[in-house]
């Protein structure tokens, strides 16, 4: 109980139309096909979800991406700018709740809650006034505990009745002192899965051993890279803590508040690490998984994958360090 309390202490609608932020680099906004997004609230219960769909113009159909939040971050606002970036490109984002609050349900139930939310969200999209989901590869993005859930469902998707996740982006994946949802081995992950595992070098919440285990044991999955992100000593904006992938935007606020969400106001900056790190990598992962394009940006230890852009003085930001699978 003490370990759980310490962990928690550390972390401590109807449709609406929203405008997107205007500070994103032009090379990323060039991908945009929609001027706004809309959010649907189906998140009252612990197995509920929020839908974020492209609007202006409202498309007939779109690809689906599932975003699994970190422990307690049951508000799309915490990742809002990133979510808007994804949806304005023409993606539907399913944001499962999987938690009622910081204490319920037990962590072992998180995968079943998340999977039910995914199934129900796909059913909801196939009816009523919604953008219809396109048939194609399902992509999961997970932060912290959401990363652990994403890796777990990447192996056991059939058990939970969801489509195979063919693309996985795991951001600071881990469970802290809570051991549920960890597998001893990810050897059963399908060969056609494309997976990026991103470690923040100064992560004091989950460390890196679990993330390294995922990468090491998913041995039959050749399209996988382990990426380590370091702070840049000359640019104080580029740190390497546990919540680097957060990107706060109150336009996607669902009204839920707890210690984790309140903490996001202090720790969720949006900067070059988001634009040229997480956002770039996920955009390329989507392209690579769906169409076979831009794989050199998502994978391979290439300059395009490593680069995080430049500092104001023109010097490069410390690049990502990439580990490739050992050749058989």
CATH code at 2-323:
3.40.50.1820
Cα dihedral 35/310/80/31 (nearest 10): 30
Assigned token pair, 154: 């990447």
60-64, 183-187, 240-244, 268-272: range with lowest mean pLDDT = 268-272
Mean pLDDT, the chain, rounded, equals 92
For 59-117, how does the pLDDT look when each residue is reduced to its tens digit (9 = 90+)?
Answer: 999 999 999 999 999 999 999 999 999 999 999 999 999 999 999 999 999 999 999 99
Radius of gyration of the chain (CA): 18
Is the pLDDT at 22 greater than 60, yes or no?
no
State the pLDDT confidence band at 234, using cuts at 50, 70 and 90: confident
d(CA 91, CA 61): 9
The percentage of residues in the chain with a pLDDT greater than 90, rounded to a whole number, is 86
Interstrand relation of 61-68 and 132-133 (parallel, antiparallel or unpaired): parallel
The mean per-residue pLDDT over the stretch 217-231 comes to 97
What was the pLDDT predicted at 83?
98
Nearest to 299 by CA among 183, 212, 215: 215
The percentage of residues in the chain with a pLDDT greater than 70, rounded to a whole number, is 93
For 133-156, how does the pLDDT look when each residue is reduced to its tens digit (9 = 90+)?
Answer: 998 999 999 999 999 999 999 999
What was the pLDDT predicted at 314?
87
What was the pLDDT predicted at 178?
87
pTM: 0.93
For 39-58, how does the pLDDT look when each residue is reduced to its tens digit (9 = 90+)?
Answer: 999 999 999 999 999 999 99
For 69, list phi and psi in degrees, rounded to 5. Answer: -75, 165
What was the pLDDT predicted at 210?
98
Q: What is the DSSP string of 192-218?
A: T-EEEEEEETT--SS-SHHHHHHHHH-
39-48, 211-220, 226-235: range with lowest mean pLDDT = 226-235
SS (H, E, C) 134-192: CCCCEEEEEECHHHHHHHHHHHHCCCCCCCCEEEEEEECCCCCCCCCCCCCCCCCCCCC
Q: Packing angle between helix 145-156 and helix 110-125, nearest 10 degrees?
A: 70
What was the pLDDT predicted at 328?
66
């Amino acid at each position: 109980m003490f370990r759980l309390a310490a962990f928690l202490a550390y972390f401590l609608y109807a449709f609406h139309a929203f405008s997107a932020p205007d500070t994103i680099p032009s090379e990323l906004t060039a991908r945009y096909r929609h001027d706004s997004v809309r959010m649907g609230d189906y998140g009252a219960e612990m197995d509920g979800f929020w839908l974020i769909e492209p609007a202006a113009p409202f498309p007939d159909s779109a690809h689906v991406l599932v975003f699994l939040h970190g422990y307690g971050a049951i508000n799309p606002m915490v990742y809002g700018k990133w979510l808007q970036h994804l949806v304005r490109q023409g993606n539907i984002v399913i944001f499962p709740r999987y938690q009622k609050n910081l204490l319920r349900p037990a962590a072992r139930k998180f995968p079943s809650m998340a999977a039910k939310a995914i199934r129900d969200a796909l059913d909801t999209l196939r009816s009523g006034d919604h953008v219809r989901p396109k048939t194609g590869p399902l992509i999961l993005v997970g932060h912290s505990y959401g990363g652990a859930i994403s890796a777990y469902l990447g192996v056991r998707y059939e058990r939970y009745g969801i489509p195979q996740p063919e693309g996985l982006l795991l951001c600071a994946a881990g469970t802290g002192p809570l051991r549920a949802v960890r597998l001893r081995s990810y050897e059963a992950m399908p060969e056609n899965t494309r997976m990026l595992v991103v470690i923040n070098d100064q992560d004091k919440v989950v460390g890196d051993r679990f993330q390294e285990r995922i990468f090491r044991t998913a041995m039959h999955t050749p399209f996988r890279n382990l990426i380590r992100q370091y702070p840049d000593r000359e640019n104080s904006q580029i740190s390497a803590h546990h919540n680097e992938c957060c990107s706060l935007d109150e336009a996607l606020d669902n009204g839920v508040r707890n210690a984790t969400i309140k903490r996001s106001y202090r720790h969720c900056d949006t900067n070059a690490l988001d634009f040229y790190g997480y956002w770039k990598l996920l955009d390329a992962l989507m392209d690579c998984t769906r169409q076979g394009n831009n794989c050199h940006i998502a994978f391979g230890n290439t300059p395009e994958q490593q680069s995080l852009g430049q500092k104001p003085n023109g010097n490069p930001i410390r690049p990502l360090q990439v580990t490739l699978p050992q050749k058989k």
